[in-house]
Every structure is written in structure tokens, then in C-alpha cells.
Amino acid sequence: MVWRIGKGDTVKFWQDRWLNGRPLFEQDGILQVEDVTCNVSSFLKGDWWDIDKLRAVLEEDLVQQIICVPVGVNGAVPDAQIWGPAANGLFSVKTAYTLLFHGSEWPSYDWHFLWKLKIPPKLQIFLWLVFQGKILSNEQRVRRHLVDDPACNYCNWPVESILHIFRDCEKAASVWQAMLCPGAHPHFFQMDFHPWLRSNLLSKAMWGDHVPWPLVFVFTCWVLWKWRNNQIFNIDNEVSYEPEKIIVAAVREWYTASQVGGTKAPKMPLLLTWEPPELGQFKLNVDGSRRCASGSIGAGGVIRNSLGDWVSGFAVNLGKGQILEAEVWGLFFGLQIAIAKGIRRLSVEMDAATAVLLVQQHSRLGSHPLASLIASCCAMVRQIGVCYVSHIYRERNAVADCLAKWSHNLDLGLCVLDAAPSWLGSVLVDDLLGVPRTRWVSLASG
């Protein structure tokens, strides 16, 4: 689905698909993102686009594409979702299916660790754009015919690459000289771009007494990027030039605030076991799996009776896609097998909270991309008779988790397992004996 802009007050400027069929922050030519959740309407002025505001955050090329997008005259037309890939804006099952499996292309390298870094969300987004090559150096801007000269505007080095901006430019190098602890980063100025980013972001080193080095590293990169843009786009010629002070102040402020906000909430271990269904009932556990590096998805599941005996199981390799798709397909195939076995009383458990929520709220899904798949699942739930879908912690779902991961070894398609595979032995026995798996839960209020 893509958005057709009307008032622009319900469409997210950075996150929704309203330009070129992709979220704006997946596109090339972004200068900075201050608020990732803002609406399109915050970039409108009167009846038209606020061009100055657009230019402050996007390169000219994107600005020009955006101002061609018609916006609701006098704010009279509401925003509307239309079915993008079919030319007439109407839904078709075929395009839905094509999108489901081929619509989302992800880069093959693993940048998911970014979301785990303890840095401000704004800087996570900035780094994500850097990793995806969405911010442009002069070298890349020449390639895209946005400028003629690839040289660095500051030191006149003939080619301004991303690495030049962040590290090798005279200006950047002098900032790093001030920030680096002597001897702590021996190959800092020799590494290639991605290894350099990664090793600094994942470093366990401390800066000064107790501030993690990755935090200092990210703030420094960000400040270097902002200064470079200020200079190129003449947003502010009088750039203050006391880099260390600015960076150190920003780092300390955020670090102190995040420490206070996150004072270690006490945690306690929760001992979780798989629980067999009641006598005469069956239990289906399902799970999905996605490999970050390749984007491959798969699912798996198992049906057991009240004695914990294996009734049936499956693993399915689903090609490429998103984790939520894997989880809902897992539910789909699990229910299908339960029906084939003639099961009339079934308790379904999965650890994917979102998938469970979608099933419980299926009547309100509207044009959600997975709406038809979820509707099929709900129809099967009704066909079974007594059937409940509930959410459990991952620690209670170990067998399904193993099967889902195993699905990546299979060829595309469904593999039904009438007997338990021998390699699952110990996990199944643990479930049967009620051996607990530990989950640490926070005791913080709320």
C-alpha cells in the first residue's frame, strides 16, 4: 500500500510510503532527521510545500521530486491509502502475494546491532542511514549528477568520500586527535570504512573514567557530518570551532540523563516450562525465524497431546521476507495440519506478540498486507471448534523455535514431520520433564 497525500496530517514524513513507493528514510539524499515520527503536514506551508524546510533536511534532488507531489488544495482532501503496484489503485491478490515475497529488499550485511546500541534514537537513525549509504558525500553526489566536483569543500582533497568526511579530512582528523585516548585505537586511521565503523561501535573501551567509547564515537561522527553540511549548504557559515567541548558536553549530557532514567531496575529470574494441554486437548506450538544476513524466513511447529507425545510437526522454508510473515505462516500451516489430523480441541501458543494481536483483532485489519492470510487462519480456528491462540514467552516455545530455525536447511516449501526428528530429542525431553528455562524479568513498576 502507498499513501496518496491529502492534508498530510496522518502520513509519517520519514516512515510511510508516499514517495517512490518507499519510506523516505530508505531513499538517497538525506541530510538529517530530527524527528522520525513527524507527519508530512509539518513540511507544508499554506497550501504548498515548505521548500526551505525541505531543503534543510533533504538534498535538492529529493526536494524537487517532493514538490511535484500534489497536496490537497485548501487542505480539503484527507490522506488515503491506495494500492500502489496495481496501476488503478485497487487491491489484487496477485500483487499482494508478489509483494509479500519480493517486495522488501534488505541489504545483505548485518546492521541490526545498531538498534541495540545505547545511543540516542536520532543517532541510531543517522547511523542506519550511513550504513545503508543513504547519506551522500561529494563523491556519490557526482555519480548521481547532483554536482560536478567531487573534491572536499574544506581541505580540497580531490575526492570527498564518506570516510573522508568522517575521518580523513584534515578537520575530522584534528577532531579525532583530540578525542582519541592515546594508544587505545592503534589502527584507527588505517581501517576501511565498514570495519572502522563496526569496530568502533562495538568497542568495549571506555572513554575517560566511565563513558563508553561507542557513544563518543557516534556523537563525533554526527557532529562532523553536521558541520560538513552546514558548510556545503551554507546553512550557517559561522560554525563554532571548539569541537571537543561541544562533543564532550553532548555526550556527558546524554550519558548522565540515560543513567538516571535507567537506574538499574532489579531483576529476578522467572523459571518457565512448557505445559502440556489438558486431557483430551491438543497443543500447537508455532514459531517463525528470520536470518538477518540473507533475509530468509521460515517457520516450524509441533502438535502434542496431554501426555506430551508428538502428534505431528512441521518446518517450512518460506523464501525471503519479514519475521511477522514467517510467524503468521507458521500459524497457518500448524492449523492446517491440526485440521488434517481431525483435532477438535486445540490450544495454540506462539511467542510472537504482534502475530497474536493481529489474530485477536482480525476484524479490524482492513488493508493490512497480511489481512487475507490472517483471515484464513481465523477461518481455520473456527473450523476446529474449540481453539484459542495465546502468547507465551519464548522460553516456553523451545521446540517450535528449533524447528523454525531448522527450516532454513530445507528446500522451499513445507515438510511435515509425522515423527519427532532425533535431533530434537533433548529439547522434547526437557519439555516433557518440565525442565525450566530461565528468563530474567525486570521488577521496575509498569
Q: Of the two residues 82 and 173, which places its CB atom closer to Zn ion in the complex?
A: 173
Name which position in 5, 130, 169, 215 contacts Zn ion (CB under 5 A).
Answer: 169
- Least separation, in Å, of the C-beta of 352 and Zn ion? 48
- Least separation, in Å, of the C-beta of 198 and Zn ion? 23
- Least separation, in Å, of the C-beta of 221 and Zn ion? 15
Strands 282-290 and 345-350: parallel
Q: Of the two residues 30 and 169, which places its CB atom closer to Zn ion in the complex?
A: 169
- Least separation, in Å, of the C-beta of 152 and Zn ion? 3
Q: Binding of Zn ion at residue 151 (CB under 5 A)?
A: no
Only segment of 92-100, 149-157, 195-203, 335-343 that touches Zn ion (CB under 5 A): 149-157
Q: Of the two residues 164 and 396, which places its CB atom closer to Zn ion in the complex?
A: 164
- Least separation, in Å, of the C-beta of 228 and Zn ion? 9
- Least separation, in Å, of the C-beta of 241 and Zn ion? 15
Q: Of the two residues 163 and 248, which places its CB atom closer to Zn ion in the complex?
A: 163
Name which position in 128, 154, 254, 310 contacts Zn ion (CB under 5 A).
Answer: 154
Name which position in 54, 71, 152, 316 contacts Zn ion (CB under 5 A).
Answer: 152
Only segment of 155-163, 292-300, 303-311, 401-409 that touches Zn ion (CB under 5 A): 155-163
Q: Of the two residues 82 and 155, which places its CB atom closer to Zn ion in the complex?
A: 155
Q: Of the two residues 159 and 181, which places its CB atom closer to Zn ion in the complex?
A: 159
Q: Of the two residues 169 and 384, which places its CB atom closer to Zn ion in the complex?
A: 169
Angle at 20 between CA 19 and CA 24, to 5 degrees: 55
Name which position in 155, 272, 420, 432 contacts Zn ion (CB under 5 A).
Answer: 155
Phi-psi region of 183 (alpha: psi -120 to 50; beta: other; left: phi over 0): left
Only segment of 43-51, 105-113, 147-155, 294-302 that touches Zn ion (CB under 5 A): 147-155
Only segment of 27-35, 168-176, 393-401, 413-421 that touches Zn ion (CB under 5 A): 168-176
Distance separating alpha carbons of residues 319 and 299, to the nearest angstrom = 11
Q: Mask 219-258, x = binds Zn ion (CB under 5 A)?
A: ----------------------------------------
Q: Of the two residues 152 and 315, which places its CB atom closer to Zn ion in the complex?
A: 152
Name which position in 91, 157, 193, 254 contacts Zn ion (CB under 5 A).
Answer: 157
- Least separation, in Å, of the C-beta of 151 and Zn ion? 8
Number of residues that bind Zn ion (CB under 5 A): 5
Q: Of the two residues 167 and 290, which places its CB atom closer to Zn ion in the complex?
A: 167
Contact 388, 347 (CB under 8 A): yes
- Least separation, in Å, of the C-beta of 164 and Zn ion? 6
Distance separating alpha carbons of residues 175 and 163, to the nearest angstrom = 14
Q: Of the two residues 174 and 256, which places its CB atom closer to Zn ion in the complex?
A: 174
Distance separating alpha carbons of residues 6 and 8, to the nearest angstrom = 5
- Least separation, in Å, of the C-beta of 70 and Zn ion? 41
Q: How would you label 425-443 residue by residue, b for 16+ Cβ within 10 Å and e otherwise?
A: eebbebbeeeeebeeeeee
| Contact positions vs Zn ion (CB under 5 A) | 152, 154-155, 157, 169
